[in-house]
Every structure is written in C-alpha cells, then in structure tokens.
C-alpha cells in the first residue's frame, strides 16, 4: 500500500515502524553522543501547530531557519500537522534545508538522502522501489543528478537526527547548512502554490497589515 499510494502517510509510517528496529540502537548512540541529541531524547519535543508558533516564525528575518521553514510550508501547501508523526516530524525540515518541494522525484531524492544520512530501512525501501512510478525521463534525471547528490551529501553531513530544530529558528539558514555540511539538491521546478498555500499567505498578509 505504501508503494502504490505513497500519499498514505499512515502506511508509510507503519512500514517505517516495522523495519526500523535494527538501526535504532545506532541512531540512539548518535543522539547520546551529541548535546542536542541528548536533550531531544530527554525532552521529547514535538513539531506541530500546537507546539510551534507559526506566526512568530513568519515574522523572523528573511534567511533564518524559521522564516525559511514557514515559507517552504506555504510554497508546498502543507502544514506541520499534514504528515503522520515520524522522525519527530522532521522530514519536512530535510526538504526545506536542501531546497526540494514535495513532488514524487523530490520525495525520492530526500529518501535517498535520508537513507544515506540515517540508515533507516524504510527510506532505502522507498528509494529502491519508488522510482518505478516515474516516467523514463524523470527516472533518468533522478539517478543521474539527484541520487549522486543525495548519497554524497547525506553520507558526509552530520546526522540530522541530532539537530534540535526548535533551537535553530533564529539561525541563518546558510550558516546552519555550512555547520551541518549540507548543500542544495540539484535545481528542480516548483509547482504553483496550492489553494492551501495561497490561503496561508493571504492570512499572513492580513495579520501583518493588522499589526501595522
């Protein structure tokens, strides 16, 4: 079901839960070796619209992590509550920080990246079979451009499971990427914002006008 209907986040999350057992001790050790990772394990923070003030993030300066995250959500027409809880709801941060939207090719690129960075079997499973849904031209570009980037970037950068994103909202995005050893994925075409994204942008504009 997760392969035929990847939009079924509940099925994708279920497969992730069933297959992640062997790698969990390694991820735990990475987190214990990191000050931020240890705090994540202890505090167990969540990322959703109840725990994160999205309006406050939207008012952060251009170029900060928080502002970039809100802008990414609006461009893709999603919210922090859209996906099933997994990886501490950090999957969208990976899209955001490497500058990829949520189309099928980009999702697969991020899955290859996640597999190289985290070693989660579900990411490898999706990467190995998900490309069968692509056209021949898109599949060619995936393996020629995105996969080499994903494997190199994911395997050489810091393990993203140790990043306490909520403590990085005000940090400059370029500085964070340099710190983590990340760089942008190959350029891709972004679709026009969905109705949800347009509505979110309109709401933010009204809120800004009201504050002024």
pLDDT of residue 196: 46
When divided into structural domains, the chain yields a total of 1
Among 44-48, 78-82, 161-165, the minimum mean pLDDT is found in 78-82
Q: Which of 120, 121, 94 is nearest to 185 (CA)?
A: 94
> Residue 37: left (phi > 0), alpha (psi -120 to 50), or beta?
alpha
Q: Is 107 annotated as a binding residue?
A: yes
- Residue 206 inside a domain? The answer is yes
d(CA 63, CA 175) in angstroms, rounded, equals 10
Tell me if 166 is assigned to some domain. Answer: yes
Question: What is the residue range of 155's domain?
Answer: 19-210
More confident residue, 124 or 166: 166
User: Residue 64 in contact with residue 193, Cβ under 8 Å?
Assistant: no
How does pLDDT run across 174-189, given as a tens digit for each residue? 999 999 999 999 998 8
Residue 31 inside a domain? The answer is yes
Indicate whether 168 belongs to any domain: yes
Residue 91 known to bind ligand: yes
Asked if the structure places residue 3 within a domain, the reply is: no
Does some domain include residue 13? no
37 within a domain of the structure (yes/no): yes
50-101 pLDDT per residue, tens:
999 999 999 999 999 999 999 999 998 888 887 666 656 788 999 999 999 9
9 annotated among ligand-binding-site residues: no
Beta bridge partners of 172: 64
Question: Across the strands, what pairs with 146?
Answer: none
Q: Is 91 contained in some domain?
A: yes
Who wins on pLDDT, 194 or 118? 118
């Amino acid at each position: 079901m997760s392969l035929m209907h990847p939009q079924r986040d509940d099925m994708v999350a279920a497969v992730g839960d069933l297959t992640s057992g062997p790698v969990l001790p390694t991820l735990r050790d990475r987190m214990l070796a990191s000050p931020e990772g240890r705090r994540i394990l202890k505090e167990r923070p969540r990322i959703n619209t109840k725990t994160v003030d999205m309006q406050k993030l939207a008012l952060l300066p251009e170029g900060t992590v928080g502002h970039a995250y809100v802008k990414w959500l609006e461009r893709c027409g999603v919210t922090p509550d859209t996906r099933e809880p997994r990886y501490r709801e950090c999957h969208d941060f990976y899209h955001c920080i490497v500058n990829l939207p949520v189309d099928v090719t980009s999702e697969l690129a991020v899955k290859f990246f996640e597999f190289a960075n985290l070693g989660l079997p579900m990411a490898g499973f999706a990467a190995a079979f998900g490309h069968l849904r692509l056209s021949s031209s898109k599949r060619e570009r995936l393996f020629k451009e995105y996969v080499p980037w994903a494997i190199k970037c994911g395997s050489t950068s810091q393990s993203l499971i140790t990043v306490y994103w909520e403590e990085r909202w005000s940090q400059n995005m370029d500085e964070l990427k340099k710190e983590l050893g990340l760089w942008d994925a190959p350029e891709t075409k972004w679709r026009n914002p969905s109705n949800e994204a347009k509505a979110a942008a309109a709401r933010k504009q009204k809120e800004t006008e009201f504050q002024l």
